[in-house]
């Protein structure tokens, strides 16, 4: 496609296409999404879309500058569908958990599109709303703005990274998926305990767990970690702080010892700190 998009007000096609539908941006996006799931990335061509829509391929220029703009619209459509029915409840962990599962499952429903679009920033309406909603959940929960942004970043990247990885597995041909699953039994199940004791000890659990996505547990880990960073989170006990303290280097002075040369432990003015 070339860049000759028509402004939104002048886009509407008055005559139906050969398929009897009135061309619109939404119809193009829905058709493209269906074609991508059936045929993969090669479906995103003007010629193929025009044929599926029953319209002259050049008519698509009225709606999208190029195929990349259409791809961003596909990504935004998936984000929009993920938000359908979602409402904030005031429980930030439950709200983020629900949003994360919705994003992940929506991309899994369209694995070919997920492979093409999960890593893209659309800048479009549905993505705008998702960013606003997630930040709103975190800020209303009392997270400072800088921390809310960092948690948002980690949350979204985690959801979309797992969506892309799991979509890649779903997009494999059935025979390839079966072969992947067989590796756990045929290879890992046969590793001897004398050379791979940890795999041998955990193999039944490992084989069962690897059949499913790791996203639910990864999301829970993120939410638990975020809760510990909240301003109202209880401070760690003295025993916990002590357990986190790194072990002293060999020959280092005891904790709290004041080096010679300065009453407050600072090196004497104009002299380098003594080596230890």
Say yes or no: 102 and 225 in one domain.
Answer: yes
Task: Judge whether 247 lies within some domain.
Answer: no
Instruction: Say whether both 107 and 173 belong to one domain.
Output: yes
- Same domain? 61 vs 128: no
Residue 276 included in any domain: no
User: In the prediction, which pLDDT does 45 show?
Assistant: 84
- Same domain membership, residue 180 and residue 133: yes
Q: Are residues 93 and 182 in the same domain?
A: yes
| The pLDDT value given to residue 49 | 87
CB atoms within 10 A of CB 236: 12
CATH number, residue 29: 1.10.10.60
Per residue in 18-68, pLDDT tens?
555 688 899 999 999 999 988 888 888 888 888 888 888 888 888 998 889
Q: The domain containing residue 211 runs over which residues?
A: 87-229
CATH of the domain at 191: 1.10.357.10
Domain assignment present for residue 2? The answer is yes
CA trace torsion 9, 10, 16, 21 (10° rounding):
-40
- Give residue-wise pLDDT tens across range 84-105: 999 999 999 999 999 999 999 9
Please indicate, yes or no, if residue 82 is contained in any of the structural domains. no
Cβ-proximal residues to 233 (8 Å cutoff; 6+ apart), any chain: 227
With 0-12 / 13-18 / 19 or more C-beta atoms within 10 angstroms meaning exposed / middle / buried, residue 131 is middle
Half-sphere exposure of 260 (CA within 13 A, CB side): 2
Q: Are residues 109 and 215 in the same domain?
A: yes
- The helix-helix angle for 145-170 and 92-109 (nearest 10°) equals 30
Residues 52 and 166 in one domain: no
Q: Residue 270 falls within a domain, yes or no?
A: no
Residue 254 lies in a domain: no
10-residue mean pLDDT profile of the chain (276 residues): values are 48 55 88 90 85 86 90 94 96 98 94 90 96 98 98 97 92 89 92 97 94 95 98 73 62 51 43 43
One domain for residues 123 and 214: yes
Do residues 122 and 183 share a domain? Answer: yes
- CA nearest to 96, candidates 146, 144, 140, 161: 140
Query: How many independent structural domains does the chain possess?
Result: 2
Task: Provide the 3-class DSSP secondary structure of residue 150.
Answer: helix
259: in domain: no
In terms of domains, do 45 and 115 share one? no
Same domain, 49 and 108: no
Residue 22 lies in a domain: yes
6 close to 62: Cβ distance less than 8 angstroms: yes
| Global confidence as pTM | 0.76
Instruction: Please indicate, yes or no, whether residues 56 and 104 belong to a single structural domain of this protein.
Output: no
């Amino acid at each position: 496609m070339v860049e000759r998009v028509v402004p939104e007000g002048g886009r509407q096609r008055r005559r139906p296409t050969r398929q009897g539908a009135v061309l619109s941006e939404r119809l193009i996006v829905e058709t493209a999404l269906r074609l991508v799931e059936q045929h993969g990335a090669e479906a995103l061509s003007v010629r193929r879309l025009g044929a599926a829509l029953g319209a002259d391929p050049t008519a698509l220029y009225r709606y999208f500058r190029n195929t990349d703009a259409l791809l961003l619209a596909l990504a935004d459509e998936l984000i929009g569908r993920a938000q359908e029915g979602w409402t904030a409840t005031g429980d930030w962990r439950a709200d983020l958990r629900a949003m994360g599962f919705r994003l992940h499952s929506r991309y899994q429903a369209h694995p070919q599109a997920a492979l093409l679009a999960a890593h893209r920033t659309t800048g479009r309406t549905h993505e705008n709303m998702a960013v606003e909603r997630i930040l709103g959940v975190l800020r209303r929960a009392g997270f400072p703005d800088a921390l809310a942004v960092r948690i948002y970043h980690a949350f979204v990247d985690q959801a979309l990274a797992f969506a892309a990885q799991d979509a890649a597995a779903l997009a494999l041909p059935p025979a390839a998926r079966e072969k992947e699953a067989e590796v756990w039994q045929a290879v890992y199940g046969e590793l001897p305990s004398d050379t791979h004791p940890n795999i041998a000890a955990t193999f039944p659990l490992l084989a069962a767990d690897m059949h499913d996505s790791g996203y639910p547990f990864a999301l829970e880990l993120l939410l638990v970690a975020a809760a510990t960073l909240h301003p109202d989170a209880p401070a760690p006990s003295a025993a916990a702080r002590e357990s986190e303290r790194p072990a002293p280097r060999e020959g280092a002075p005891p904790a709290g010892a004041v080096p010679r040369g300065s009453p407050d432990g600072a090196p004497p003015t104009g002299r380098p700190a003594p080596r230890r």
